[in-house]
Amino acid sequence: MARKLRAEQTRATIVKAAAELFDRHGYESASLRDIVTRANVTKGAMYFHFATKEDLAHAVMDLQHNCLSRALADIDRSGYSSLEALIRGTFEMAGQTGRCSVARAGLRLAMSGVALSRPLPDPVDDWMENVAERLAAARREADLDADVEVESAARALVYFLVGSRAAGSASGSAHEMGREVAEMWRFMIRATVPEIHRRRYLELVAALE
């Protein structure tokens, strides 16, 4: 049991070191030797867990996906309206990207277009589907105007989140990212939420910011 725990800790240390280097320098520029040095492990320990740098890239993406999925599941279990759950989820995503090198590295890997023998998963399509489902539910709950085109609104929201990271703010703090997400939501709420509900959601955004 102790040996298994040490192996899991070593693996986690290697993945974290890889994420930090992928985030800071990009996948192409981070070498396995750099990762070994950063993790302070032996080459043998590295190759016991990961045969290639591609394996590490997939491990970082998997960890980023799992961390975000758990956080969003916690939000879903809290009984919020669909629109509130979506707003809270986008702030959580921004916060993770600001706080966590794994989240930043996962997003950078997803957007980098690096050619790998086993392609990395693209989270954007999943995010688009998830956001569209929540917006459709919000429209049914009368938290969105009836004439809002859900697919268009979902694209605008996801492209903002991804585009703001691509423009360089992925290196910003969680506070800076929270401010950007708040600005986006103030615009979206005023454009799509019925007037009777706007104050509630604008106050929520201000609190989350």
119 part of a folded domain: yes
Residue 173, pLDDT score: 59
80 part of a folded domain: yes
As a whole number of angstroms, the distance between CA 7 and CA 65 comes to 22
The structure tokens listed for 139 are 């429209």
| C-beta contacts of 124-127 below 8 A and 24+ residues apart | 124/158, 124/162, 127/158, 127/161, 127/162
**CA 135 to centroid of chain Cα atoms:** 19
Task: Give the model confidence (pLDDT) of 185-207 as tens digits.
Answer: 999 999 999 999 999 999 999 99
As a whole number of angstroms, the distance between CA 88 and CA 93 comes to 9
Mean pLDDT across the chain: 88
Task: Give the model confidence (pLDDT) of 85-120 as tens digits.
Answer: 999 999 998 888 877 888 888 888 877 777 777 877
173 part of a folded domain: yes
Task: Give the model confidence (pLDDT) of 24-76 as tens digits.
Answer: 988 999 999 999 999 999 999 999 999 999 999 999 988 988 888 899 899 99
Give, as one character, the DSSP assignment of residue 79.
T
Q: Give me the number of domains the chain comprises.
A: 1
Domain with 187, as residue range(s), is 62-208
Closest-CA residue to 87 (of 1, 163, 183): 183
Cα distances (angstroms) measured from residue 108 to each of 42, 64, 172: 27, 11, 14
Question: What pTM was computed for the model?
Answer: 0.83
11 part of a folded domain: no
pLDDT score of 162 more than 80: no
The structure tokens listed for 195 are 């007037």
Question: Which CATH number characterizes residue 73's domain?
Answer: 1.10.357.10
Q: What angle do CA 86, 92, 119 make, to 5 degrees?
A: 90
